[in-house]
Structure 1
Amino acid sequence: MVGGVAAVAGPSLGGFIVSVLGWRWIFYINVPIGVLIFIFTYLFVPEIRNSAKQQLDLMGVLLVSLSCLFLTYGLIEGQHFKWSMYIVGILIISVVIFIIFYVQQKLRHKRDPLIPFALFEDRNYTLMNVVGVFFSIGVLGLMLLLSIYFQSILGYDAFRAGLTLVPASLISMCVSPFAGKFSNKIGGKYLVLAGLALTLIGMIWVIFIMNGHNYWVQFMLSMVITGFGNGLLISPTAAVAVKEVKDEVAGAASGVMNTVRQLGTVGGSAAVGALLQNRISAMNHGSEFESVFDISTKFGGHLSGYLTALRESLLLPMAAIALACIACAFVRKNAKRLSTNEIK
């Protein structure tokens, strides 16, 4: 529910900040929010100590943080540097550091590793991580392309574009608690599959109604369908993933899932942005441009090519959701729970 409230407030509040204060404040505002979270956590979150003595894997934290840093930077800045050897080198460094991290974790497997890689021996946990990655790519890709469409084609400012996306988050917020309650009763796997299917239907609807002259209300149904689908699968995905995980490593399992999803959003935004830019550049005879939000001016008022590029780019998020469906189909209903010894 808390996540749903944030999802509802995020697009509109983010759009308001961008419109009034500028895009840099999207980053600046995290500083005071982070300070408040730190203070409230210190004052109100109860301290829970494990009876067993544990050591924080500082070297593991450093290695995985550096790997994620290089990966995120490479994916975000790849299009800006035209995927040059500089970016390729950055991504290679990320992979090398992660390999070092993996070896370090294997050597430390009996001394509280940061990530117990034996978690991935749990089939359902691994598959739900795959679902989470593809779902993040799909939904982030859809929202990114819709934001571009609303602002560059329909002429909305960032605030209005954000408000147009709110119905999806609002429906998701309302549905998610009920999906969590019914997950054990009818099977989380089937709820996740239903959610993915509805999300895919919402994307198909968007492709069909894009015409360059839409009113915001025409996207209401697709946003409701997509939001309903998102609400159905968010809680069950986590429930299915950690159902067979021992309590001792539940925190690590949850942390890995969240990190994987966040990397999926980064990769999704980079991939979708690069594809859109590539398709528009090809249709505009290789013409270069600074921002996808300004591309419509390159077509001299003839937006059919731009709309075609947007529709073609939407195929990538749709493919990601389809792959998530395939991964989810292989989830087992009754999996063996890993023992503590197997985890370590």
Structure 2
Amino acid sequence: MGRDRTSAVPTLEVMAMTRTGSATLVLPLALAQFVASFAATTMNVAISAIAVDIGTTVIGVQTTITLFTLTMAALMIPGSKLTDIWGRKVCFLVGLVVYGVGAVLASLATGLGVMVLGYSVLEGVGSALMIPPIYILITVSFDDVAARARNFGVVSGAGGLGAAAGPLIGGVVTSALSWRASFLLQALLVLSIIVLARRVADPPRPEPRPGFDLLGAALCALGLFLVVFGILRTGTYGWLVARVDFRVAGAVLVPAGGPSPVWISIGAGVVTLALLVLHLRARERAGRDPLFSVALFRGRTTCLGLTTQLLQWLVLQGAFFVISVYLQQVRGFDAIGTGLMLLPATVGILLSSGAAGRLARRHTQRWLICGGFVLTVVGVGLLLALVREDSGVLSFVPGLFLIGAGIGVMLTASVNLVQSGSPLELQGDISGISRAVSNLGSSVGTALVGSVLVGAARPGGGSFALALATLGVVAVLGLVVAVLLPGTTQPG
């Protein structure tokens, strides 16, 4: 008995040290994910104020938001590859510094050019550098699947909180102080993360360090830029038939009613990405380091896992967008009220993400992803069944909560599945691809519901129901993909 009690003491000490080390690592990573997600949504509530203050138009400010998304999406994979060359911690810190400089510059902007440089370019580049190391460091620092899930859950919860709270916090700060204060808040958060990140340990990386595939990075960035740009332009031109004339230098190239010109950009992007694949294969055959290994896509689990990630982010961003627009245009809520109405979804994301570690010990990742999609489909159904133009605010709560809970469960499980399914030497590759896929899903989600809203024959409450129903169909498709995942992975 005495020996058992004595031997238990070191175990408890090790457990306490493990928790302390985990918090030291995960806290700055989670805060960084929060800031990046916050930046992607908070600008929307300050568009008019920024346009008036810096002497530009609403279209000009919306363009800076689009360019931020494009910069981040285009550079995510090349940025991830730099973690294998510079080191994960170094890449994380450099990204934070670049992001912080961009936030300060944006807060001082007196014209559109400075705003584009600070927000669109520097914050976009900073995000592409600092986000991939978040997921790599968690993967390489925790061997146990349940421990990874617990910490991925913290990061996912922080990201969900940032995305959902962005409009609320941005609305409060803009109303009480100024839109400039919102950028200064980001800069202060980044500074605090840099201080906290000094104690982050970076496990040894495979040696020798790989070279940087410059041509591959250029093809990857251009291909993703063109695909995402085309998707984002569907809100203006539509998916199939051009809603307005497509002009270049004043000349009408595609008249309204003709084929949508977005497919010119998307098609060029797909061709560029196909050339990228050929280039990567040629480099691998020549024994040279590619931007990423195409062998990653030969695994069924990885491909299906990435597909679920794309569909999850499509549903998440699409749902937040359509509900936010509905609350403001149909129900008359301001930015602060809209943010408060989205709190049930935020709570659902936080609770399910917080339970990720316990769920991963009891269930397979496939079971969790399937369950998450089921909860999301039910949540969408409840919103369609309960919410009317004259219904009370409580009618939103059940559906929003289940959507948040479902997305929180499956986001964590999908990240864990994809990251854990790749060897340590390919973590830089898979992390960048995973984040690029998530950004692509977010862009498609917003563009898809936006095009449904604009293209509805009778704008109003019915068009929002149609957009939400479209997301429900996507969630069902995600469930089908999740069922196809191998079911052999055991709980951690």
- Is the structural similarity TM-score above 0.5? yes
CA displacement at 1:20 relative to structure 2: 5.8
Give the alignment partner of residue 160 of structure 1, picking from 307, 320, 337.
337
* Contact in 1 for aligned 2:380/2:403 (Cα 8 Å): yes
Task: Give the aligned partner of residue 232 of structure 2.
Answer: 76
Task: Give the aligned partner of residue 301 of structure 1.
Answer: none
Instruction: Check if 1:309 corresponds to 2:486.
Output: no
Q: What are the ranges of 5 or more consecutive residues in structure 2 without an aligned counterpart?
A: 1-153, 247-253, 255-260
CA gap 1:67/1:30 in 2 versus in 1, 3 angstroms: farther
Distance 2:298 2:171 in 1: 44
Distance 2:181 2:366 in 1: 36
CA displacement at 1:13 relative to structure 2: 3.6
Paired residue secondary structure (1:333): coil
Distance 1:160 1:249 in 2: 44
Give the alignment partner of residue 88 of structure 1, picking from 263, 271, 288.
263
Instruction: Check if 1:212 corresponds to 2:212.
Output: no
**Deviation digits for residues 65-124 of structure 1, max 9, x if unmatched?**
121222222221233245445533222221222122111111122423222111111111
**Deviation digits for residues 163-212 of structure 1, max 9, x if unmatched?**
21122122222222322343253211111111110011000011112211
Identity of aligned residues (%): 21
Instruction: Check if 1:150 corresponds to 2:327.
Output: yes
**Deviation digits for residues 286-306 of structure 1, max 9, x if unmatched?**
xxxxxxxxxxxxxxxxxxx61
Distance 1:223 1:214 in 2: 15
Distance 1:49 1:220 in 2: 46
Bigger Rg over Cα: 2
CA RMSD of aligned residues (A): 2.9
Instruction: Check if 1:136 corresponds to 2:313.
Output: yes
Give the alignment partner of residue 61 of structure 1, picking from 211, 217, 224.
217
Task: Give the aligned partner of residue 158 of structure 2.
Answer: 5
Give the alignment partner of residue 278 of structure 1, picking from 449, 455, 466.
455
Instruction: Check if 1:118 corresponds to 2:272.
Output: no
* Contact in 2 for aligned 1:188/1:240 (Cα 8 Å): yes
* Contact in 1 for aligned 2:173/2:179 (Cα 8 Å): no
CA displacement at 1:8 relative to structure 2: 2.2
Q: Which amino acid is 2:427 matched to?
A: A
Task: Give the aligned partner of residue 477 of structure 2.
Answer: 323
CA displacement at 1:37 relative to structure 2: 8.3
Q: Which amino acid is 2:323 matched to?
A: L
Q: Which amino acid is 1:100 matched to?
A: L
* Contact in 1 for aligned 2:173/2:181 (Cα 8 Å): no
Distance 2:181 2:276 in 1: 32
Q: Which amino acid is 1:57 matched to?
A: D
Q: 1:196-235 to 2 correspondence within 5 Å?
A: 196-235=373-412
Distance 1:10 1:313 in 2: 20
Instruction: Check if 1:248 corresponds to 2:402.
Output: no
Task: Give the aligned partner of residue 274 of structure 2.
Answer: 99
Give the alignment partner of residue 207 of structure 2, picking from 46, 51, 54.
51
Give the alignment partner of residue 176 of structure 1, picking from 353, 358, 361.
353
* Contact in 1 for aligned 2:174/2:182 (Cα 8 Å): no
**Deviation digits for residues 219-253 of structure 1, max 9, x if unmatched?**
11112212221222122112222443211112311
Q: Which has the higher contact order (CA 8 A, sep 6+)?
A: 1
Q: Which deviates more from structure 2 when the two are superposed, residues 173-182 or residues 17-26?
A: 17-26
TM-score by length of 1: 0.81
Distance 2:358 2:208 in 1: 33
Q: Between Structure 1 and Structure 2, how many residues are aligned?
A: 312
CA gap 1:214/1:268 in 2 versus in 1, 3 angstroms: same
Distance 1:210 1:124 in 2: 38
TM-score by length of 2: 0.58
CA gap 1:35/1:77 in 2 versus in 1, 3 angstroms: farther
